[in-house]
Amino acid sequence: MTKGYIHSIETFGSVDGPGVRFIVFMQGCPMRCQYCHNPDSWKMRTGEELTADELLDKALRYRAYWGDKGGITVSGGEALMQMEFVTELFEKAHAMGVTTCLDTSAQPFTREEPWFGDFAKLMAVTDTVLLDIKHIDDEAHRRLTRFGNANILDCARYLSDIGKPVWIRHVLVPGITDDEASLVRLHDFLCSLSNIERIDVLPYHTLGTFKYEKLGIAYPLRDTPTPTPESVARARNILEGTIG
């Protein structure tokens, strides 16, 4: 039986998918996003080890709070680094009538087999995908995360092709992801997709900097300010026309 490595759990999430969600943060991530607020989630094969049944039992204790739309969201780290476990969890959740949501950067995405077939199996039991697009420009994305974005945008196209409901998430970082040209490019890309249900512009924050200090890691954006309410509103105005 597959076991998952769990970083942490949030029992009452209201912004990570439809309704009230039980959120599972998986351990392990290949990206090194400069603004990551969970550097303690990077390392693979650490954290609490649980089976899908054990994790589902924990989640179902809170089912009374979920209502009609709520359910389970799996995030990270990067949840696709433990795709077999997430698929098993979602299959068991679906069998009990629980809705499922995947929060991912899609960095591991590839159309090569056997990975692509395994991803298709996961999508068959995933109701909503929260897709984090860090930057629309490949080189800027590489500077920000250490990885390019070609396969991530390809994942977005695939999700559109199969009609999977998607919420887009974009972190607004002053001087890095907030320039108008990049936001317009992102808007134009999202307009080419047919499955976007919601767009969340997430203001950059520094709440996780203490974790870098604890781990002895230099925080790369120490001098970067949080975005102003006006810049957040401007970004939302540029991107919101994508839906509909």
Residue 97 has pLDDT above 90, yes or no: yes
Phi and psi at residue 113, in whole multiples of 5°? -90, 150
What ranges make up the beta strands (E) of 31-165? 48-51, 71-75, 99-104, 128-132
Question: How large is the average pLDDT for residues 84-105?
Answer: 98
Q: Determine the Cα–Cα distance for residues 121 and 116; give it in Å rounded to an integer.
A: 9
Q: Determine the Cα–Cα distance for residues 82 and 118; give it in Å rounded to an integer.
A: 11
171 forms bridges with which residues in the sheet? 202
pLDDT of residue 86: 98
pLDDT of residue 179: 95
pLDDT of residue 227: 96
Beta-strand relationship, 3-13 and 21-26 = antiparallel
Residue 244 has pLDDT above 70, yes or no: no
The amino acid at residue 152 is I
Establish how many alpha carbons lie within 13 A of residue 58's alpha carbon, considering only the half-sphere containing its beta carbon.
17
User: Which domains are present in the chain?
Assistant: 3-242 (3.20.20.70)
- For CA atoms 9, 11, 15, 18, give the dihedral sign: positive
Q: Determine the Cα–Cα distance for residues 14 and 34; give it in Å rounded to an integer.
A: 25
pLDDT of residue 210: 86
Q: Determine the Cα–Cα distance for residues 131 and 109; give it in Å rounded to an integer.
A: 12
**Is this prediction's pTM over 0.85?**
yes
Residue listed under structure tokens 């972190």: 171
Q: Determine the Cα–Cα distance for residues 210 and 147; give it in Å rounded to an integer.
A: 25
Residues 167-218 pLDDT 10s: 999 999 999 999 999 999 999 999 999 999 999 999 999 888 888 989 999 9
Tokens of 142: 């590489």
Question: How large is the average pLDDT for residues 123-127?
Answer: 98
Please give the residue that has the higher pLDDT: either 56 or 213.
56
Minimal CA–CA distance to 169: which of 128, 129, 136, 132? 132
Question: How large is the average pLDDT for residues 223-240?
Answer: 95
Residue 1 has pLDDT above 90, yes or no: no
Peptide bond into 203 cis (omega under 30): no
Residues 14-38 pLDDT 10s: 999 999 999 999 999 999 999 998 9
Q: Phi-psi region for residue 28, left (φ > 0), alpha (ψ -120 to 50) or beta?
A: left
- Summary mean pLDDT of the chain: 95
